[in-house]
């Protein structure tokens, strides 16, 4: 194994033996990442020991069932490349719908708050799409915010600020937002135990599981957000695929208006949307 072509063939064979259905593309992505990490030219190249050792390390981590995105070190999300690794939830493609709905709902003025920001995926995507808008991202996890801050530096966005704390508690009483987004933990306790081992073993439970029905954090967000919302502000929450009716009831009981559920491209409940009139 002396060239990139040989290394890619070796990686593909190794991944196929692990039973990975996307071995062809994953091998290609690993080689592309090696080229970037070591600043190597696109042309065929004789590989040095450090390059080969890096590839072997990645394959060993995948054999240990570590998430591919952690091994690669990044993930694509809403036209951005985000850095990810142990301690932070990996942004999922379905969360891009939350960003799309937020951009559509943004009234053109006022700041945006993103709760449970994790890697900063939603906050950074909104800041990138709305460069003249101030975005605040909050997460309780120090590890998650480590990745959010790395992504902020990597993307060089000037209109995002991250805070560590429990939901809205880091904010001062005078702060108000015209849009609030959140991709909170919403997996029920029993459902969490049924998640694939690659998720349970590596991604933070804090970012996934939320009580017996998965709605503990959503209930808190709905109740605690109102003092920080401007009149006619919009609240957008990512929810579980069967949580729509329960979340609508929570929103209505808390006095929100125009409450509705937006389905994803698989026609599953995905986003809860509501308006705060006062």
- CATH number (domain holding residue 207): 3.40.50.150
Do 86 and 216 lie in one domain? The reply is yes
Q: Is the pLDDT of residue 278 over 80?
A: no
Buried b (16+ CB within 10 A) or exposed e, 128-157: bbbeebebbbbbbbebbbbbbebbbebbeb
User: Hey, is 255 helix, strand or coil?
Assistant: coil
Do 149 and 270 lie in one domain? The reply is yes
Q: What is the mean pLDDT of residues 234-244?
A: 98
What's the pLDDT band for 41 if we cut at 50, 70, 90? confident
Rounded Cα distance between 117 and 29, Å, is 26
For 79, 136, 138, 139, the CA distances from 132, given in Å and listed in that order, are: 18, 13, 20, 23
Do 119 and 251 lie in one domain? The reply is yes
Print the domain residue range for 121.
74-276
Q: Is the pLDDT of residue 110 over 70?
A: yes
pTM, 2 dp: 0.94
Residue 75 contacts residue 249 (beta carbons within 8 Å)? no
Q: How many domains does the chain have?
A: 2
What's the pLDDT band for 155 if we cut at 50, 70, 90? very high
Residue 251 contacts residue 272 (beta carbons within 8 Å)? yes
* pLDDT (0 to 100) of residue 277: 80
Rounded Cα distance between 278 and 33, Å, is 49
Domain end marker among 64, 92, 109: 64
Do 206 and 113 lie in one domain? The reply is yes
Burial class of residue 202, CB neighbours in 10 A (0-12, 13-18, 19+): middle
Q: What is the mean pLDDT of residues 82-96?
A: 97
Residue 204 contacts residue 141 (beta carbons within 8 Å)? yes
Do 102 and 185 lie in one domain? The reply is yes
Q: Is the pLDDT of residue 3 over 90?
A: no
* pLDDT (0 to 100) of residue 47: 84
Q: What is the mean pLDDT of residues 246-263?
A: 97
| Percent of all residues in the chain with a pLDDT value above 90, rounded to a whole number | 92
Structure tokens belonging to residue 244:
């729509």
Burial class of residue 48, CB neighbours in 10 A (0-12, 13-18, 19+): exposed
Q: What is the mean pLDDT of residues 18-35?
A: 94
């Amino acid at each position: 194994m002396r060239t990139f072509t040989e290394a890619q063939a070796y990686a593909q064979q190794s991944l196929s033996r692990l039973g990975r259905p996307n071995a062809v593309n994953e091998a290609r992505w690993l080689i592309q990442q090696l080229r970037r990490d070591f600043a190597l030219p696109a042309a065929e190249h004789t590989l040095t020991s450090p390059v080969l050792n890096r590839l072997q390390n990645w394959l060993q981590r995948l054999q240990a069932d570590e998430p591919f995105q952690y091994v690669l070190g990044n993930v694509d999300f809403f036209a951005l490349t985000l850095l990810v690794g142990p301690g932070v939830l990996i942004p999922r493609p379905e969360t891009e719908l939350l960003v799309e709905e937020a951009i559509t709902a943004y009234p053109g003025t006022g700041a945006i708050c993103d709760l449970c920001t994790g890697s900063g995926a939603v906050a950074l995507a909104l800041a990138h799409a709305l460069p003249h808008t101030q975005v605040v991202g909050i997460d309780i996890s120090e590890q998650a915010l480590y990745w959010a801050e790395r992504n902020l530096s990597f993307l060089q966005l000037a209109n995002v600020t991250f805070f560590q704390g429990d939901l809205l508690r880091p904010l001062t009483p005078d702060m108000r937002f015209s849009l609030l987004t959140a991709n909170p933990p919403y997996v029920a306790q029993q459902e969490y135990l049924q998640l694939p081992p690659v998720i349970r073993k590596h991604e933070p439970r804090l970012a996934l599981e939320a009580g017996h029905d998965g709605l503990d954090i959503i209930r808190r967000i709905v109740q605690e957000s109102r003092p920080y919302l401007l009149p006619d502000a919009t609240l957008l929450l990512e929810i579980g695929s069967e949580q729509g009716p329960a979340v609508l009831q929570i929103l209505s009981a808390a006095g929100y208006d125009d409450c509705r559920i937006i389905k994803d491209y698989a026609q599953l409940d995905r986003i809860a949307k509501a308006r705060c009139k006062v």
